[in-house]
Amino acid sequence: MKPGKVYLVGAGPGAPGLITVRGLECLRRADVVVYDHLVDESLLQSVPPHAERVYVGKSAGRHTMPQGEINDLLVSRAKSGKAAVRLKGGDPFVLGRGGEEAEALAQAGIPFEIVPGVTSATAVPAYAGIPVTHRGLSSYFTVVTGHEDPGKPESGVPWDILAQGTGTVVILMGVSNLADIAGKLMEHGRPGSTPVAAITQGTWTSQRTVVGTLADIAGKASGSGLRPPAVIVVGEVVGLGEGLNWFESLPLFGKRVLVTRPRHQAAALVELLAERGAQPIEFPAIEIEPVADLTALDEAIAGIEGYDWVVFTSVNGVEAFFGRVESLGLDARCLKGVRAGAIGTATADALRRWGVRADFVPEVFTSQGLLDGFQNLSVEGQHFLLPRGDISGQDLVDGLVGQGARVDQVTVYRVVTPEELPEDVKGMIAGGEIDVITFTSPSAVNGLLSLMGEQRGFVQMATIACIGPTTAAAAAREGLAVDVVAQEHTVSGLVEAIEHRFSGTRS
C-alpha cells in the first residue's frame, strides 16, 4: 500500500483565527487529526466528519501520550494510507518537538510537510501591546525555553550571555521556574529594574498580563495566581505595553456571551462579539428544520402569480421558500409581477442573494413596523402570501386583514428545541459565569428557558440582551428583566447595544 502523508501543522498561539490558510487546507482534507492541549478545539470544526480525532495533549505534570507513542501513531496512520495532520500549538519547529516528530517520519520513510504556524513567542507579546523589537529599545530578540529536558547534564541556555545583552528575551514554558530564571539573569548582570511581563492565556479572551521587574516579577506572578500557559518577556520594550495593549482594552474584553441563535445563523454574531474581545459561547436554543409535508408550499409556489405581495419575516423563511423554488426547477423569475416585502435588512439581503430586490422594508424591523408601512401603501383588496415558521404569531395576519387585505399563510420551516442543554453550558449559566445572554427571537427565549428546566431562574444572573422589542416582550412574559434592547434590530445593532451597556467596565 502506498503510504499516506503527515502534515506537521502549527495551529498558532491560541486564537483560532491565527492559524494559517495552508493549515486550514490541511485540516479540511485530513483523515486523522492528532492534536495538542493548547489547540483551540473549534479548529476541529473544519475537519471532515469521517476523520479520526486523537487528543495527545500535554499539560503541567500530565501527559496523555508519551512522545514516542505519538511518533509511532503518526507513522502507523500514514502507513495505512491516511492523510494525517499533527496539529500543534504555535509553530511546530519553535520549542514544539516538531523536529523530533519529523525525524521519526523521515526515518520511517513517511512523506511529510511542515506547515509553519504563528509562534506564541511573537504573537502573545503583540496581543499585549509589546513589540519584541523596537528601533529605539531593542534591535534583536532571543527565544528560549524556561523548561529544559530534566535529563540534560547542564542547562543549554546561556543565561550569562543573555544577561549581558540589551536585546529582548522571550521565555516560553517558564512560569514554574520564573523565580530561578529572574535570579540567573540578575546574577549574571541584568539589572533588577529591568521590566518584565508575564502574559497568561495569550491571544485568548482570558488573556491577562502581569508587569513587574526582574526583582519582583516572581512574587507578582505568584500573588496574581498566574498559571501556564504563559509567555515571559524581559526587556525595555515591556514598557510600551501600557500604551499599546490593544487587545485587553477592547470594549467587551473577557465578557462571556451566550449566543442562542441556530448554529447556521450564529457566525455573524460570533464574529462581531469576538472582534470586540468577548468570548462567544455558542449554544443554539432552537434549530430550524424543514416541514415534512410540502403540499401547501408547492401549491403556493404554483399559484404565486395570483398574489400581489409575498412578505418574508425572517431569513429562515427566505431560505426555505427559495430552496423549494429551486428544487422545483424554478428561480426568482417565478415572482414576476409579485412585489416582495421583508422585515429587516438581513431578510432583504437574503432575498437579494436569491435574485430578488425587496420592494418594501419598514424603517422599524418589526411586524408593527411592517403594518404601519403597509397602512401608507393602501393594500385594501390585495392578496398576500406569508411564508413563515410553524410558531409565528398572528399579529401580522390580523393587522393585514384589518387593512382589508386577503392573507394566506404557508408554513415553510419548523422551529424545534434541542433535546438537552450541554452540562458545561448549563453549569456556566447556573454558576454565574455567563456575563451576557443574547436572544434574537422569541423562540430562542422559550427554548433556552425550557432547556434550563428547574434552573431557569439562574438565567437572570446574566445581562439579558434582545435584538428588538418583540423578543424583549417575549422575555418579559417569561419573567426575565431585559437589560439591553437593540435600537437597530440587527445583529450589529445588538452588539453595539451590548458594547454601550458595558462601556467603561471590565471583567
Three cell numbers written together for 260: 442562542
Rounded to whole angstroms, the Cα distance separating 414 from 364 reads: 25
Share of the chain above pLDDT 90, in %: 87
In 88-232, alpha helices (H)? 98-107, 120-127, 159-164, 178-187, 217-223
146 found inside a domain: yes
pLDDT in tens, 200-232: 999 999 999 999 999 999 999 999 999 999 999
User: Is 155 part of any domain?
Assistant: yes
For 484, other C-beta atoms within 10 Å of its C-beta total: 21
| Among 241, 167, 166, 155, residue whose Cα is nearest residue 198 | 241
Is 0.85 topped by the overall pTM? no
* Chain mean pLDDT for the chain: 94
Kindly state the DSSP code that residue 289 receives in the 8-state scheme.
E
The angle, 0 to 180 degrees and rounded to 10, between the axes of the packed helices 315-327 and 345-353 is 20
Which one is catalytic: 173, 255, 428, 435?
Answer: 173
**Torsion, Cα of 123, 126, 130, 134 (10° steps):** 90
Q: Which three cell numbers stand for residue 2?
A: 502506498
Same domain, 11 and 112: yes
Domain end point (choices 67, 88, 117)? 117
In terms of domains, do 111 and 32 share one? yes
* Tens-place pLDDT, residues 192-205: 999 999 999 999 99
Give me the pLDDT at residue 420, please.
Answer: 84
Same domain, 26 and 106: yes
Q: Are residues 278 and 427 in the same domain?
A: yes
141-145 vs 168-172, strand pairing mode: parallel
Residue 173 falls in the annotated catalytic set: yes
CATH (domain of 471): 3.40.50.10090
Q: Do residue 79 and residue 100 come from a single domain?
A: yes
Task: For residue 481, tell me if it sits in a domain.
Answer: yes
Average pLDDT over residues 377-404: 93
- Grid coordinates representing 243? 500604551
Closest CA to 340 of 323, 324, 317: 317
Residues 486 and 453 in one domain: yes
> What strands, in cross-sheet order, belong to the sheet with 383-389?
287-290, 406-416, 383-389, 309-312, 339-342
Q: Tens of pLDDT along 225-257?
A: 999 999 999 999 999 999 999 999 999 999 999
Name the grid cell of 67: 512522545
Asked which of 99, 117, 135 is the last residue of a domain, the reply is 117
Is 412 in the same domain as 428? Answer: no
Distances (CA, A) of 140 to 54, 152, 169, 182, 237: 38, 28, 9, 20, 11
**Helix/strand/coil percent split, the chain, to 5:** 40, 20, 40
Burial 428-456 (b: 16+ CB within 10 A, else e): bbbeeebbbbbbbbbbbbbbbbebbeeeb
Which of 66, 90, 117 is the C-terminal boundary of a domain?
117
Residue 89 shares a structural domain with residue 20: yes
Beta-strand relationship, 309-312 and 112-115 = unpaired
* Residue 250 belongs to some domain of the structure: no
Print the domain residue range for 316.
289-416
Q: Are residues 279 and 341 in the same domain?
A: no
Q: Greatest CA span in the chain, whole angstroms?
A: 93
Report pLDDT for 153.
Answer: 64
Is residue 156 domain-shared with residue 105, that is, in the same domain?
Answer: no
Which CATH number characterizes residue 182's domain? 3.30.950.10
Helix (H, G, I), strand (E, B) or coil at 506: coil
One domain for residues 293 and 409? yes
41 found inside a domain: yes
Report, as an integer, the average pLDDT of 278-304.
95
Instruction: Classify residue 485: in a domain, yes or no.
Output: yes
Name the percent of the chain lying above pLDDT 70. 97
Q: Is 189 helix (H, G, I), strand (E, B) or coil?
A: coil
Copy the grid coordinates of residue 365.
424591523
Question: Choosing from 5, 31, 36, 184, which is the catalytic residue?
Answer: 36
pLDDT digits (tens, 9 = 90+) for 149-175: 655 667 789 999 999 999 999 999 999
Q: Let me know whether 171 and 312 are in one domain.
A: no
Look up the CATH number of the domain holding residue 105.
3.40.1010.10
Domain count, the chain: 4
Report yes or no on 507 lying in a domain: no
pLDDT at 507 (0 to 100): 38
